[in-house]
Amino acid sequence: MSANLTALAYLVASVLFILALRGLSSPGAARRGNMMGIAGMAIAIGTTVLDPSIVSYGGILAAIAVGGVIGTIIARRIQMTAMPELIAGFHSLVGMAAVLVASAAFLSPESFGILDASGTIFVASRIEMALGVVIGAITFSGSIVAFAKLAGLMSGDPVMFPAQHWLNLAIGVVIAVLIAMFAQTPDPQWFWIFTGLAFAIGVLLIIPIGGADMPVVISMLNSYSGWAAAGIGFTLGNSALIVTGALVGSSGAILSYIMCKAMNRSFFSVILGGFGAVATTARSKTDKPHKEGSAEDAAFLLKNAGSVIIVPGYGMAVAQAQHVLAEVSAKLKAQGVKVRYGIHPVAGRMPGHMNVLLAEANVPYEDVHELEEINPDFSNTDVAIVIGANDVTNPAAKNDPKSPIFGMPILEVDKAKTVLFIKRSMKGVGYAGIDNELFYSPNTMMLLADAKKMMQDIGKEL
């Protein structure tokens, strides 16, 4: 295949990838979009293996087969509630692949055509592969930490130590200096040292960030994996890789921005971490009276309601309560109650987490609404059910300028006639470590139980 044809094939692959992302504006189009993504990938791989420099197919086929089987099995078996850790795990693989490819390009530059007449690697290629390997290494080790936090292999609490940010800054500066030196002289030791440091800083960057900030972290790592791919794309001079890297990089960046905005936090405050570390001190007013109810009371209220809005959060995922919840809402709908869902952008551990869980439980997507869409409707709603969410409903975000979450957009469940708040116990606070005045409001009924158990009991009463 001529070089021109190859480049055209990569262009086709890039266009298919853009269309794959464009499809995600609606579920139906998204399914077609996924097929285009697969086609784009097949074209990119097919074009590359037809290159005359690729002659040894045995190992390649075996590697694709092994990886393909593992990937397919994981993807088919994974629980929908475990999606955040799966995505974090996948990010780490992209990062590692970038590190391996950049290292291979450094060790065998002749296979990649990046040698100049005197047999040294082009300066531009050195800088590109350095950036690719550094971002790839950060993506890898950062995603491993995110994976461990999400999968519960390590505590989700922020890990802080003195002068942490200065250490990170110092390592960052050293990496930059080493890359500059590597651009001057292609000494292998610089390459391996900055690669090692990049692995270290990936860990250091993510450990201070608490579990509830994971939606931002995961989006950010998504973005990094794209920039790493783009860096490698420059080294290879491959347009499909450059375009894809740019698409993925901007996608992750936009998602990070949306998540930060939904928490009213700056990107830097999330990155610096430590949020939620003050959890134990802020809670002193536990003795205020609150109203408790039983499943029977809840069922009675729901039966007599005209309209209900359900606000799910991470707790619903933990309790695996989405199926029972969907059954209860189906029963209510059968009795003529209008049931809808209100989703906060940061509910759960990754963007869109709740929507996937509700979809899994066969909730029609027309019933699931975004924050801006549903907020005006709370004031004419009879019952709001909060299940596994907390801070995203806290009126302090609107009323109390001293609150750490002041200014964060919330779902205004307090405007509903009655709030049913499902929670394990009156102890325990949301991720921000603050009390929620909603618990003590006269129109709130606390349902203290495991979310799944409570929904089952309500279901029986209906």
Partner 1 sequence: MEVDPLIWQLSIFVLAIFVGYYVIWSVTPALHTPLMAITNAISSVIVVGALMAAGPADFSAAKVLGLAAITLAAVNIFGGFVVTQRMLSMFRGRGRAPNKK
CA dihedral 437, 440, 441, 442 (to 10 degrees): 180
Based on the residue annotation, tell me whether 377 is a catalytic residue of this protein: no
Residue 100, both tokens: 């391996």
Alpha-carbon distances of 221 from 261, 284, 411, rounded to whole Å? 18, 37, 28
Give me the residue label for tokens 């964060």. Answer: 408
Least distance in Å: CB of 142 to partner 1?
A: 15
Question: Of 117 and 163, which has the nearer Cβ to partner 1?
Answer: 117
Residue 169 backbone class (left: φ over 0; alpha: ψ -120 to 50; beta: rest): alpha
Give me the residue label for tokens 């086609």. Answer: 39
Question: Which residue of the set 51, 367, 382, 391 is catalytic?
Answer: 391
Residue 445, both tokens: 């009924």
CA distance linking residue 146 with residue 350, whole number of Å: 11
Paired with 445 in beta bridges are: 420
Cite the beta strand spans of 298-337 per DSSP E: 307-312
Question: Of 132 and 315, which has the nearer Cβ to partner 1?
Answer: 132
The DSSP 8-state label assigned to residue 211 in this structure reads G
Question: Of 71 and 428, which has the nearer Cβ to partner 1?
Answer: 71
Question: Of 11 and 171, which has the nearer Cβ to partner 1?
Answer: 11
CA distance linking residue 386 with residue 64, whole number of Å: 45
DSSP codes of every residue in 51-119: STT---HHHHHHHHHHHHHHHHHHHHH--GGGHHHHHHHHHHHHHHHHHHHHHHHHH-HHHHT-B-TTS
Edge-to-edge strands, sheet with 338-343: 368-370, 338-343, 307-312, 383-387, 418-423, 444-448
Least distance in Å: CB of 247 to partner 1?
A: 4
Does residue 420 contact residue 294 with C-beta atoms inside 8 Å? no
Phi, psi of 82, rounded to the nearest 5 degrees: -95, 10
Torsion over CA: 415, 418, 422, 426 (sign): positive
Does residue 90 contact residue 226 with C-beta atoms inside 8 Å? no
Least distance in Å: CB of 93 to partner 1?
A: 5
Question: Of 232 and 410, which has the nearer Cβ to partner 1?
Answer: 232
Least distance in Å: CB of 269 to partner 1?
A: 22
Cite the beta strand spans of 270-314 per DSSP E: 307-312
Least distance in Å: CB of 297 to partner 1?
A: 30
CA dihedral 359, 362, 364, 369 (to 10 degrees): -40
Question: Of 63 and 173, which has the nearer Cβ to partner 1?
Answer: 63
Question: Of 50 and 160, which has the nearer Cβ to partner 1?
Answer: 50
Question: Of 167 and 258, which has the nearer Cβ to partner 1?
Answer: 258
CA distance linking residue 233 with residue 252, whole number of Å: 18
Least distance in Å: CB of 154 to partner 1?
A: 22
Least distance in Å: CB of 40 to partner 1?
A: 7
Least distance in Å: CB of 14 to partner 1?
A: 8
Which residues form the catalytic set? 391
